[in-house]
Structure 1
Amino acid sequence: MQENEAKNEYLTGRERIVRTDGLELWAEDFGSPGHPTALLVMGAQAQGVQWNDGIVRRLVDGGHRVIRYDHRDTGRSSRVDFAAHPYTVADMASDALAVLDAFGAERAHLVGASLGGVIAQRLAVTHPHRVLTLTSLSSQPLGTDMAGAVRRALAGAPPLPGELPPPRPELLAALASAFPEPEAGVEEYLAARLPLWRVLHGPVLPFQEEEYRAMERRVYERARDVRAALNHTLAGAAGHGDAADLSSVTAPTLVLHGSEDPMFPPAHAAATAAAVPGARLVLIEGMGHTLPAALDDRLAAEILRHTGHAGRTV
């Protein structure tokens, strides 16, 4: 398998369509089926291929079978009429289990980014027998009322007592114009999306515009409907558990987070690590709320270090 971003050649695995609950979920796996499975769970409005090929390759080279997939309402997976068939984060967690079942993976190392981290946390609470280890990346504690925090921030109201900090003001401003009109072509789409990625990336590490442009072009070209992913915001606002539930997690847990995350400032990572017994917190200096290719080695190394002790059998 060859990877050449400049020529838009991407890592490709063994693709399949997973059918569950009347939906079709696109998924692919890499590496030996006999190796321990690592399920990569992306965040809200994000496709599975937004797990960098470099991270996938390094995890495979480290002895894992890697699975990534498109959530409902993203990429090549089914588009949902949310008004007629509303869903929640719990339903999205069920999708993740359906993917594992389709690939015959009884247990897996769960690696979830942003909303994917919340989904992975929920599975560690509700299905502990399916979870070898948990890695919560650029995420927040299960049950956090981020929708409420955002509403209060936009209204100029102070946070509630004990509330975790809301997204930074510059990110809230960028989110307001991050999606173009439905009839927009690819160039209009890119023009709307790149300012958001610049803010999400953070102010410390160099921003490689062409890297994000290539990623978003791929997202646009793969999507059945790029605006359908906005339904994830509605699903997240419906509630998804309670942070107190994290006290029951028995899977070894790593909390990976960027020091410059504008979506979930580092206090969210500290709260997650404090809620999970024995969790280990690792802050990546300079990282925002994105997965830049420059950090592929570091992120994969942290995940491999965390999952390596769990053995090589599924």
Structure 2
Amino acid sequence: MTAPTELIVESGELRLWTERLGSPGDPAVLMVMGTSAPGLGWPDELVDAFVAGGLQVIRYDHRDTGRSSCVDFATHPYALADLALDATAVLDGHRVAAAHVVGASLGGAIGQWLAVHRPERVLTLTAIMTGPMGHSAGPAWARAMAGQAADPSDLPPPTPRFLAHLAHRATLPQGTRDEYVTANLETWRVLNGDVLPFDEPAAHRFVQASFDRTGDHTAALNHDLAGRHMTEDRLAPLASIKAPTLVIHGTEDPLRPLPHGRALAEEIPHSRFQPMAGMGHSLFSPGLPRQVGEIIREHIA
């Protein structure tokens, strides 16, 4: 693992924890994590693959995660655009004019927003396990949870197993560290899917670090509220994206099935769609982070 440099940057009144690895003179990769996940969700093996290829990596804790500021969402609600502006604040804090943006899940939607509304900041875009930022998943989720058949004109809902897990998880206590780790480790096991092996030790370390790095682990739930809030800026056509775009999606994604990634790639001109056989909605499988890292590095090159 390359020696990191930590920096706290300001985004309005918020303070965001950031970490840079590699040489500041190398092209920058901004790594944007998904819902409720701090920057350490990006595996070290993936980061090292970039640094070894002559890139510098900047990863950071979203607001309401890790060592970044927490927000009282009831009095100061925020949306996807605010999370995207946090990302530009991170670039500004590191004096990076433009970067190769790599986003996972919600981070992929943030990357789309930047590529549409701040195109000068995005050299290339890689969106992993996500869908079009203007698609509302609410109706599909509601039908599935009500036991109704999926709407064939809509993107598919999560798998029944994942929805059943969410219902069970809602009954579990998560107040203590051990309770939090147990519940979240099982979530990552389900998100991994049943095809690729699950790297339980890596997931366990990440879940523990997620709890230990924040004083309020419930604040991360605000990301769900922000992600579901559909604003006009999210409906901007993705056809306007000029940055070379790579869409990576697992064939066994239980949260966002494969058609979500395919739909995103179809909306972005000249994008490349890369299905990953057996991958679920996580990178917690032995060898997978380095494999994904090599694919992204080739795209950036």
Q: TM-score, normalised by structure 2?
A: 0.95
> Is the aligned partner of 1:304 residue 2:281?
no
Which position in structure 1 is the counterpart of 2:115? Answer: 124
Partner residue of 1:202 out of 181, 187, 193: 193
**Equivalents in 2 of 1:194, 1:174: separation in Å?**
12
Which position in structure 1 is the counterpart of 2:211? Answer: 220
Specify whether residues 50 and 132 from structure 1 end up closer, same or farther in structure 2 by C-alpha distance, changes over 3 A only. Answer: same
**Equivalents in 2 of 1:197, 1:80: separation in Å?**
25
**Equivalents in 2 of 1:148, 1:85: separation in Å?**
26
Can you list the C-alpha shifts for 1:265-298, whole angstroms capped at 9, x where unaligned?
0101110110000000011111100012421221
State the shift of 1:96 in Å: 0.3
Q: TM-score, normalised by structure 1?
A: 0.91
Identity %: 48
**Equivalents in 2 of 1:263, 1:249: separation in Å?**
25
Task: Name the stretch that deviates more: 209-218 or 173-182.
Answer: 173-182
**Equivalents in 2 of 1:209, 1:133: separation in Å?**
32
Spell out the pairing of 1:249-268 with structure 2 (5 A cutoff).
249-268=241-260
**Equivalents in 2 of 1:24, 1:172: separation in Å?**
34
Q: Is the 8 A contact 2:116 2:236 kept in 1?
A: no
**Equivalents in 1 of 2:22, 2:90: separation in Å?**
16
**Equivalents in 1 of 2:30, 2:190: separation in Å?**
28
> Is the aligned partner of 1:284 residue 2:279?
no
> Is the aligned partner of 1:51 residue 2:51?
no
**Equivalents in 2 of 1:286, 1:15: separation in Å?**
35
Which position in structure 2 is the counterpart of 1:141? Answer: 132
Structure 1: give runs of 5+ residues left out of the alignment: 3-10, 309-314
Which position in structure 2 is the counterpart of 1:152? Answer: 143
Structure 2: give runs of 5+ residues left out of the alignment: none
State the shift of 1:12 in Å: 5.2
State the shift of 1:242 in Å: 4.5
Which position in structure 2 is the counterpart of 1:272? Answer: 264
Which position in structure 2 is the counterpart of 1:69? Answer: 60
Q: How many residues align?
A: 298
State the shift of 1:210 in Å: 2.0
CA RMSD of aligned residues (A): 1.5
Partner residue of 2:23 out of 25, 29, 32: 32
Question: Secondary structure in 2 aligned to 1:176?
Answer: helix
**Equivalents in 2 of 1:105, 1:145: separation in Å?**
32
**Equivalents in 2 of 1:246, 1:131: separation in Å?**
14
State the shift of 1:244 in Å: 5.7
